[in-house]
Amino acid sequence: MTLASAQNPTGKWVAKYSSDDEAREIVLALNVESGGAVTGYVLAPQYEDRIVEGTATGGQITFVAERDANNNTKRRSNYSAMLEGGTLKLTMPTAANRPPQVIEFTRTSAEAPAPLPPAPPKISLAAPAAVRDNGLARTPPMGWNSWNKFAGRVNDKVVREIADAMAKNGMKAAGYVYVNIDDTWESARDSQGNIGTNSKFPDMKALADYVHKRGLKLGIYSSPGPKTCAGYEGSYQHEAQDAKTYARWGIDYLKYDWCSASRVYAPDAATMQAAYAKMGEALLASGRHMVYSLCQYGMLNVGEWGAKVSGNLWRTTGDISDRWQSMSNIGFDQQIGREKFAASGHWNDPDMLEIGNGGMSDVEYRTHMSLWCLLAAPLLAGNDLRDVKPGILEILTNKEAIAVNQDKLGKQGVRVAKNGDLEVWARPLADGGHAVGLFNRGAAAAKVTAKWSDIGVKGAHKVRDLWAHADRGKVKDEYTAEVPSHGVVMIKIAK
């Protein structure tokens, strides 16, 4: 057995983290051999990373850790740490679009840790029979979600104030009705296995009643795995029980995030489909109508089976961030070919709106809104609606753009022309017209032309600019507009 000195980081290190009364911890187990090689693991509620290589020199440590991912692959993450006195500061791996996260650990044992036992075999499930359509979300859901702005800082007070703001500032009038609480509301289960809320949400039923009195609806979040992405209680093996609890509280919408399900379920489409079908059936049997949002990042061809598990929407990509590069890559590049899966009640979801969070210009946010409307994507605002600039509110509540998003035909828009950084997207509308976006992804202003032949129309048609709220007269064969860098001109071509 090797014992660590004050300068040797060998041992068990623990970091406790919590934004409420539910304490969680991350365990870092390190064994530094005489030559400086590092072995061990990082164990959090929602994942375990096994160190596959690493070195320690003085108080500096770097290592690569590996975990099971989906599609029978391994995901590798790079860590770095600094030993400072009795504290070890670990820089956690984050997505490229997120700032580094540094967590302080305290040593609880100086003994060399035993290796983690092999992970138990993963559960395989047969593809289920199709789950009944719940009849909801006949047009893309509209509302607000807490994560992009508040993450783990969301609480009862914030949600009430957001609901008040939505009811008064024009958001509700424009069609935004869902007020969705994302991760970090959960508490441990009671002795009967019922999920509870932590101190941030003392009475979820009372909160739902408050939101409903304002003519809005309340959404909530869980995972088919044992833990959520933030390490809180998931719905694994409690699907029916949780659905009944949500119904009792008065919940109207569930976002169901894969996260730690990859630790217990086999990485195949049939198993994932069956895991989501469990909750789809449970929601239908709960006695309350709830929109069902699948959040599994577009893996395993979810568009082919999302509707079959009673899903109303399904994520198509990884998480969006408040940057032009993230939004444009997700919206323009990663939605190609998915239009065949979208239909009334069942929508491709390129993730929530970042409009108003400060990382993009108003021009770019207008592009964000236009593209999501053309894509028939759910419109879930993610900014602080209690303090929103008039220009941002104008973007979010543009009734002419929203009418495109909510069009009853339910056809997702497609890219009909591309010339370098210049793109034209179009979607047919229920009244026989077409909505068209003339986009400029380049670094300088440019003229963009939408040709009627690319869109599938002929002759002369009335054109309306949906951001200028102005008629442009009758136009024959094509329409050309000067479009700013990263900007859009969005038009409607009349029947």
Question: CATH no. for residue 420?
Answer: 2.60.40.1180
Domain termination site, one of 341, 376, 409? 409
Instruction: State the pLDDT at residue 2.
Output: 46
Contact status, residue 404 vs residue 451, Cβ threshold 8 Å: no
Last residue of a domain, one of 62, 93, 109: 109
Per-residue pLDDT at 138: 98
pLDDT digits (tens, 9 = 90+) for 423-446: 999 999 999 999 999 999 999 999
Which of these ranges, 108-122, 186-200, 263-277, 431-445, has the smallest mean pLDDT?
A: 108-122
Do 420 and 318 lie in a common domain?
no
For residue 137, being part of any structural domain is answered with no
When the pLDDT of each residue in the chain is averaged and rounded to a whole number, the result is 94
- 359 has a pLDDT exceeding 50: yes
Cα 339 to Cα 131, 143, 427, 489, distances in angstroms: 22, 22, 10, 22
Average the pLDDT over 300-317 and give the result: 97
* Model confidence pLDDT, tens digit, residues 279-305: 999 999 999 999 999 999 999 999 999
The range of the structural domain enclosing residue 51 comes to 11-109
My answer on whether 156 and 283 are in the same domain is yes
Q: At what angle do helices 269-284 and 239-249 cross, to 10 degrees?
A: 40
Element (H, E) at 213: helix 204-213
How many CA within 13 A on the CB side of residue 226?
A: 8
147 lies in the same domain as 70: no
Residue 1 clears pLDDT 70, i.e. is over it: no
Rounded Cα distance between 122 and 70, Å, is: 12
- pLDDT score of 86 more than 90: no
Please check whether residues 298 and 387 belong to one and the same domain. Answer: yes
pLDDT for the residue 372: 98
pLDDT at position 20? 67
Average pLDDT over every residue of 167-188: 97
Give residue 72's Cα distance to chain centre.
Answer: 23
Are residues 349 and 441 located together in one domain of the fold? no
Per the domain annotation, does 431 fall within a domain?
yes
pLDDT tens-digit profile of 450-464? 999 999 999 999 999
Q: Are both 405 and 419 inside the same structural domain?
A: no
Mean pLDDT, range 77-90, rounded to an integer: 91
* 94 & 238 share domain: no
Catalytically annotated residues:
257, 319
The answer to the question of residue 390 being in a domain is: yes
Q: Is the pLDDT of residue 88 over 60?
A: yes
pLDDT at 6 > cutoff 60: no
CATH number at residue 325: 3.20.20.70
Query: Rounded to two decimals, what is the model's pTM?
Result: 0.93
pLDDT in the model for residue 22: 67
Query: What is the structure's pLDDT at 69?
Result: 72
* pLDDT > 70 in the chain, percent: 96
What's the average model confidence in pLDDT over 354-383?
98
Quick one: pLDDT at residue 3? 45
Count of domains for the chain: 3
**Of 373, 393, 409, the domain-final residue:** 409
DSSP result, 352-415:
---TTSSSS-HHHHHHHHHHHHHTT--EEE-S-TTS--HHHHHHHT-HHHHHHHT-TT-PPPEE
Contact 439, 483 (CB under 8 A): yes
Which helix (H) or strand (E) is 174 found in, with range? helix 171-174
How much is the average pLDDT of 220-240? 96
* Residue tagged 């894509």 (tokens): 375
**Looking at residue 34, what is its pLDDT?**
84
* CB 437 within 8 Å of CB 415: no
Tell whether 395 and 488 lie within a shared domain. Answer: no
For residue 254, which of 222, 209, 212, 296 has the smallest C-alpha distance? 222
CATH number at residue 81: 2.40.128
Amino acid at 416: V
pLDDT value, residue 97: 58
Same domain, 420 and 405: no
Check if the beta carbon of residue 131 is closer than 8 Å to that of residue 309.
yes
pLDDT at residue 95 is higher than 70 = no
Q: Residue 417 pLDDT > 80, yes or no?
A: yes
Rounded mean pLDDT of 466-487?
A: 98
